[in-house]
Each structure stands twice: as structure tokens, then as C-alpha cells.
């Protein structure tokens, strides 16, 4: 089976020398890509340029990305009406920078257009604008794709985390969602349309389950 896996963080520029990103390492998506390749699948791994995970790859074609836009463009270039398994494990940033303003010590607010914002000019106010969501676009690009998304949740209870994963399934039109993070607790919750929730206690078991489902 042809498989596409995304891994690692996106980043968005604040100015020409600074960026907005997150703590993702890319290790889960990278390990999954290796596991799929080892099982004999044809794997393309979209790996972030900023991912710290850099393990040996098992016969995998690797495409790099940095911003949300570049990841979307890479996936869109692979658009295919044929069956494909997609595991969208990348930590796509929710926001990109809009306008930047400096508040001077005298309270004057000025919009900044410089390539490098002067850190001595005062407090910097950054407008955060939501980035376009990639996951809901995948069913259009891959109409016969089996698409698994991820939901990493920090706040709330395990039930809250599962409810957000279920909302992702409905809003994005995907087939499965892996839920993890402090709100869920140890291990993972594997949600699939029309099937009961599966509690998976370890990463190794999650990889085995996902590979077996392809």
C-alpha cells in the first residue's frame, strides 16, 4: 500500500530572522514511517526541517517541509484518486503572525514592517492569525485515502480529549484519530469511525496497530 506520513513541527516567520513554532520532535511520525516501510509498504515521509528526530530510514522517500503552506503544497502535489493510507502526525502550528506592533516606553504604538524587528524599541505585540487547516483538505486531494489524524491535548480530562478527537473526525471527514497528551494520560486513544475506542498503552503497540490496519 502507498502510505504518506507527516512528522515534525511547522514554523511560521515572525520576521525575517525569528519564527513561531512548537515542541514537536517528529519521532512518532518518523518511527511510524519506518515501521510501515519495514512491513513492505511504499512510504513517503514528509519530515520537518526542524524535526530533531533523525534516525536511519528504512527505504523511505523523504520530502522536507517548514511552514504550514509548504507542507500543504507537498501533500497536494501527491494528490491521487487511488487508494492511499495517510497518517497526518505532523504538529502543524495553529497560528501565523499577522501584524507586528511596537509599544514604545511613552505608550506610542507603531506598526512594524522591518525585516528584523528592533528588540530595543519597546514591547512587541504580535497578532496571531489562524493557519489554514490541512487535515480537512486531505479527503478532497485523496478521495480514496484512509486518513488518520492526531489530536494532542494538554488541558481537561481523558473524556475531554476523546471528545475533541471525535469532533476532529466529524469536522475533517477523516477515518481515524490518535489522541494523546497530558489530557489523555499515558498511552494513546485510537478512534475509528463506527468502532469502539481502543486504549493503547505504549508507542510500540500503537505502531503495531496502525501498521496492521493498513
pLDDT digits (tens, 9 = 90+) for 119-138: 777 788 899 999 999 999 99
pLDDT at position 169: 97
pLDDT at position 81: 96
pLDDT at position 110: 85
Cell numbers 480514496 correspond to 144
pLDDT tens sequence across 133-175: 999 999 999 999 999 999 999 999 999 999 999 999 999 999 9
pLDDT at position 144: 97
Q: What is the mean pLDDT of residues 91-117?
A: 87
Residue 86 — pLDDT band, cuts 50, 70, 90?
very high
Euclidean distance between CA atoms 75 and 138, whole angstroms: 8
The cell numbers describing 65, all together, are: 517541509
User: 3.30.450.90, 3.90.230.10, 3.40.50.300, 3.40.50.10300: which CATH number matches 2-93+133-213?
Assistant: 3.40.50.10300
User: Is the model's pLDDT at 79 over the cut of 80?
Assistant: yes
DSSP state of 116: S
pLDDT at position 115: 82
Parallel, antiparallel or unpaired: strands 145-152 and 123-130: unpaired
Task: Pinpoint the alpha helices (H) of 64-157.
Answer: 68-77, 138-141
Position with higher pLDDT, 105 vs 171 = 171
Locate the domains of the chain by residue range: 2-93+133-213, 97-128
Q: What is the mean pLDDT of residues 42-46?
A: 97
Closest CA to 41 of 60, 21, 63: 60
Say what the pTM is: 0.94
Q: Quick one: which H or E segment has residue 61?
A: strand 61-65
User: Is the model's pLDDT at 188 over the cut of 90?
Assistant: yes
Amino acid at each position: 500500500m502507498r502510505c504518506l506520513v507527516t512528522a515534525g513541527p511547522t514554523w511560521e516567520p515572525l520576521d525575517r530572522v525569528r519564527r513561531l513554532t512548537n515542541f514537536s520532535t517528529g519521532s512518532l511520525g518518523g518511527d511510524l514511517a519506518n515501521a510501515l516501510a519495514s512491513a513492505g509498504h511504499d512510504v513517503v515521509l514528509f519530515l520537518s526541517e526542524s524535526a530533531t528526530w533523525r534516525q536511519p530510514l528504512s527505504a523511505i522517500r523523504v520530502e522536507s517541509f517548514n511552514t504550514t503552506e509548504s507542507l500543504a503544497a507537498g501533500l497536494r502535489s501527491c494528490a491521487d484518486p487511488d487508494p492511499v493510507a495517510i497518517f497526518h502526525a505532523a504538529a502543524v502550528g495553529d497560528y501565523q503572525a499577522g501584524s507586528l506592533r511596537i509599544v514604545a516606553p511613552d505608550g506610542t504604538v507603531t506598526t512594524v514592517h522591518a525585516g528584523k524587528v528592533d528588540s530595543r524599541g519597546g514591547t512587541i505585540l504580535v497578532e496571531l492569525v489562524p493557519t489554514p487547516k490541512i487535515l480537512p483538505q486531505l479527503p478532497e486531494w485523496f478521495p480514496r485515502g484512509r486518513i488518520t489524524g492526531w489530536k494532542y491535548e494538554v488541558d481537561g480530562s481523558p473524556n475531554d480529549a476523546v471528545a475533541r478527537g471525535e469532533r476532529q473526525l466529524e469536522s475533517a471527514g477523516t477515518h481515524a484519530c490518535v489522541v494523546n497528551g497530558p489530557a489523555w494520560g499515558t498511552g494513546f486513544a485510537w478512534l475509528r469511525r463506527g468502532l469502539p475506542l481502543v486504549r493503547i498503552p505504549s508507542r510500540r503497540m500503537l505502531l503495531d496497530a496502525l501498521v496492521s490496519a493498513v
